[in-house]
Amino acid sequence: MKKQDFLNYNTPSKFFDREPLMINYAKKSLLLALLAGIGFGATVAQAQERVYVIDQRDVVARSGFDLCWRTGYWTPAAAAKDPAGCQCDKDLIPKEVCEPKAAPTPAAAAPKPSGEKITVAADALFDFDKATLRPEGKAKLDELVAKAGAIKLEVILVVGHTDRIGSAAYNQKLSERRAAAVKSYLVSKGIEANRVYTEGKGKTQPVTGDKCKGNAKTKALIQCLQPDRRADIEIIGTK
């Protein structure tokens, strides 16, 4: 076989051997190109969400005059949705977008009801061992009604007391009748009945302590125990 024939015979064989390698390389190149195109498209799509040019630091690029560079997707409506919109174009964006509503001012606290406690002595309200109001006692209660009228009344608490002379059961009933007599008079002067609460404590809360000696019902002991025969009246309301 001639040398030229030998060359002609072997040359096509080499090309045929390389063809699969070239085809594989072309396929890989095409695949890489497709992947690169997909990545680029995602980058563009992501960039389209922003209406300002963002540099590598993820900061809005600015001109020499400190103005934000806008992309071709910029519109006032789109700028209102961009995180940098209020920073770059605050004057062109609705006020409520860049200036959120201030928190509502807390309502002024309602005034707390204040109480005034008044103790009316038994010698002014009642005679010894009695639950009938005396004229002097009514005058004291008139003063109390005037004070109640000067405020926004919530309630009036009336607590009747007695001295230690007599049984616990008897004094309990007597203290309750005294408190009820005070309530009846207050209601007659215009105080609403459902705002007056009464209670009797009998002889359980003396204020004389141990300074009054003896247990016999003498004039001296009755006079000494006078402070225990009382009615505590508390007015609660707001001014």
Beta strand 114-121 pairing with 152-160 = unpaired
**0.75 cut: is pTM over it?**
no
Local confidence band at 119 (pLDDT 50, 70, 90 cut-offs): low
Spacing of C-alpha 212 from chain mean position? 54
**What pLDDT is attached to residue 112?**
66
Protein fold of 114-238: 60s Ribosomal Protein L30; Chain: A; (3.30.1330)
How many CB atoms within 10 Å of residue 6?
10
Spatial separation of the C-alpha atoms in residues 206 and 232, rounded to whole Å: 12
**What pLDDT is attached to residue 110?**
63
Q: Residue 157 pLDDT > 60, yes or no?
A: yes
Q: Residue 9 pLDDT > 60, yes or no?
A: no
List the single range of 30-39, 102-111, 180-189 with lowest mean pLDDT: 30-39
What's the mean pLDDT when you consider all of the chain? Answer: 76
Quote the percentage of the chain above a pLDDT of 70: 69
Spatial separation of the C-alpha atoms in residues 165 and 222, rounded to whole Å: 8
**What pLDDT is attached to residue 113?**
62
Q: What average pLDDT does range 27-39 have in this prediction?
A: 44
Domains of the chain: which residue ranges?
48-102, 114-238
Which three-class secondary structure string do you get for 97-155? HHCCCCCCCCCCCCCCCEEEEEEEEHHHHCCCCCCCCCHHHHHHHHHHHHHHHCCEEEE
